[in-house]
Structure 1
């Protein structure tokens, strides 16, 4: 029988407010103690119009950008360019180095959630890769009162389209008021649940929009063991609850942040800055706005 998971902690997001790039920002996962959140390093919620995030580099991580609302324009040094609409996801492997930008289409508005995924040292310098994981093309599972939109990994035999360098299960769950769901996931994974709309209980712990519930790996779990995370939408609500649920096995290696770079050692961060300045990431793209 799969083990039932518990919630170790529920954390409030930090409202960071507007800055030079965005109209408003909230940090749902902060990079203050990455060993407690590994393999998930950052989850930032941004509301942007102009200027947004102009050309900037990344190395040593993957970013998963979910468009909550509005339309997001993107481009990168691989030559990819396009727009993502509400529900669409951009899965980008920075690997050895990429330069990209994320802007509100026509400087109107975009509301996004961006997750930074850790990589093991052996994959930090892998080839860069870009994937559109569009809402219309993702598989969905239907359960009583619940819809599971599978982005990454395999749930009940259904596999999401995202390709991974580190095994991650990612789903978007929509629950009708009062609906219950036992979501399967590997027992060795660390999992988080970010409530996007309304409220829900996660393994019996109440969680509201703007909070994140954390479930640590099941103790003494066999490598291939399964577990379930109980989710329950508030019965008294008149709205559906929307949840972003990701799980992944902790990488368990040293983590060093350096602005847009994530590596294992400080000297690797210094090298990333040198490589970017000397053009090892390639020239800054000159793509026109869409």
Structure 2
């Protein structure tokens, strides 16, 4: 008997003014206690429509987790660290880094940025960057469904991105009237975020609409599960996230994730003492360009 994935809960996140000032709308996509979202900590859908040249953003630290950036539209960063529409970057903050994001020219962009837990044994991993440009993303086209796989294994293909904690991220486009059945590990916490159209999820065909987040039921046992997805009379696009829960307690404070409050205090001390280096200075051996 196949293990079937169904929608367990549907959320309707709202946008709010973001920290980059005028033209920045930030939509927090992750609600509830971490025990429900494990190993996902935070996910933001950021829209920026900048009209002027006043610098926005700046340097800020991270430690104890990974940031995962998917550019949906526009450009982010500059020079060797520029990301364009469809590009993907995984930054392992690990023991601690400073991340500098300054936007000083007019333009529009939309990015999905995830905070993803590292797990106790890798909390202080050496910082690293992994860049996967759109041109190198594994793509599957089958029966009216296109899957761009950024992380993990899905639909018979595997992303080159290396993961400390098993993580699947896929940008999926389905034409009207299409159906696909995908195999996912039954014990991966999984959710969908709809960017365009709507999709029917599971054997129950529960509908998930644009801008909604839908979390699937989760099983304790190992092995594969089936996720059935169907569209009606419109093209649909959504992002699928699936990760293996760590079942560990975490402490979150500002830009840091740790195992206890004492470690949070130590991280702030190291940052003030200048011990955290900018991620742009990461050694070449720790900057993977797939």
Same fold (TM over 0.5): yes
Cα contact 1:83–1:105 (8 A) shared by 2: no
Distance 1:20 1:142, change over 3 A: closer
The one of 56, 60, 63 equivalent to 1:56 is: 60
Instruction: Give the distance between the partners of 1:218 and 1:230, measured in 2 at CA.
Output: 16
Is 1:124 the counterpart of 2:126? The answer is no
Query: What SS does structure 2 have at the residue aligned with 1:276?
Result: helix
Cα contact 2:55–2:104 (8 A) shared by 1: no
Shift of 1:82: 2.3
Instruction: Give the distance between the partners of 2:195 and 2:104, measured in 1 at CA.
Output: 22
Cα contact 1:59–1:261 (8 A) shared by 2: yes
Distance 1:236 1:65, change over 3 A: same
Shift of 1:53: 3.2
Query: What's the counterpart of residue 114 of structure 2?
Result: 115
Distance 1:93 1:107, change over 3 A: farther
Instruction: Give the distance between the partners of 1:104 and 1:64, measured in 2 at CA.
Output: 19
Query: What's the counterpart of residue 34 of structure 1?
Result: 34
Shift of 1:175: 0.4
Instruction: Give the distance between the partners of 1:183 and 1:84, measured in 2 at CA.
Output: 29
Query: What's the counterpart of residue 217 of structure 2?
Result: 216
The one of 233, 236, 261 equivalent to 1:236 is: 233
Please give the per-residue CA displacement for 1:176-235, whole angstroms capped at 9, x wherever unaligned.
01211112111111101011112112222211121111013224x2x3x011211112x2
Instruction: Give the distance between the partners of 1:283 and 1:88, measured in 2 at CA.
Output: 21
| Superposition map of 1:14-163 within 5 A | 14-21=14-21, 23-30=24-31, 32-48=32-48, 49=50, 51-73=55-77, 81-104=80-103, 106-163=105-162
Please give the per-residue CA displacement for 1:151-180, whole angstroms capped at 9, x wherever unaligned.
111124311121101111111111001211
Instruction: Give the distance between the partners of 2:106 and 2:226, measured in 1 at CA.
Output: 42
Cα contact 1:187–1:227 (8 A) shared by 2: yes
Instruction: Give the distance between the partners of 1:256 and 1:241, measured in 2 at CA.
Output: 37
Query: What SS does structure 2 have at the residue aligned with 1:194?
Result: strand
Instruction: Give the distance between the partners of 2:144 and 2:35, measured in 1 at CA.
Output: 35
Q: Which sits farther off after the overlay, 183-192 or 45-54?
A: 45-54
Cα contact 1:5–1:227 (8 A) shared by 2: yes
Superposed CA RMSD: 2.1
Instruction: Give the distance between the partners of 2:61 and 2:19, measured in 1 at CA.
Output: 19
Q: Show structure 1 runs of 4+ deviating over 4 A.
A: 283-286
Cα contact 1:71–1:104 (8 A) shared by 2: no
Cα contact 2:45–2:111 (8 A) shared by 1: yes
Instruction: Give the distance between the partners of 1:275 and 1:14, measured in 2 at CA.
Output: 35
Query: What's the counterpart of residue 193 of structure 1?
Result: 192
Cα contact 2:97–2:278 (8 A) shared by 1: no
Cα contact 1:74–1:103 (8 A) shared by 2: no
Residue segments in structure 1 that go unaligned for 5+ positions in a row:
76-80
The one of 254, 258, 264 equivalent to 1:263 is: 258
Distance 1:274 1:39, change over 3 A: same
Instruction: Give the distance between the partners of 2:56 and 2:43, measured in 1 at CA.
Output: 17
Instruction: Give the distance between the partners of 1:243 and 1:284, measured in 2 at CA.
Output: 30
